[in-house]
């Protein structure tokens, strides 16, 4: 997961609420709240590289990962907590 997170072609999507995102997030990550994922599938499909999803604990990003895999995505990964993703990104 560390190599995936550190790859320049990987896009990190934080599925927490905008309020949570403003309180702290991975530098360069994009905020798409879990409740908007189903409406923004085309936007996510346009991402060429891997997508790492994160949230507060990994639960919401797990739901988003499962949903997107059911939509045919093969490039999505549950990164778990944004704090863990941030840790790996900075190493």
Q: Which positions are catalytic?
A: 55
How many CB atoms are located within 10 Å of the residue 61 CB?
28
> Which residues are CB-neighbours of 20 under 8 A, at least 6 positions away?
56
């Amino acid at each position: 997961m560390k190599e995936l997170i550190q790859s320049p072609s990987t896009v990190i999507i934080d599925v927490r609420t905008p309020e949570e995102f403003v309180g702290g997030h991975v530098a360069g990550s994009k905020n798409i709240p879990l409740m908007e994922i189903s409406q923004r599938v085309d936007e996510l499909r346009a991402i060429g590289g891997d997508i790492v999803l994160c949230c507060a604990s990994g639960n919401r990003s797990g739901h988003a990962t499962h949903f997107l895999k059911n939509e045919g995505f093969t490039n999505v990964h549950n990164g778990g907590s944004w704090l863990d993703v941030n840790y790996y990104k900075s190493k």
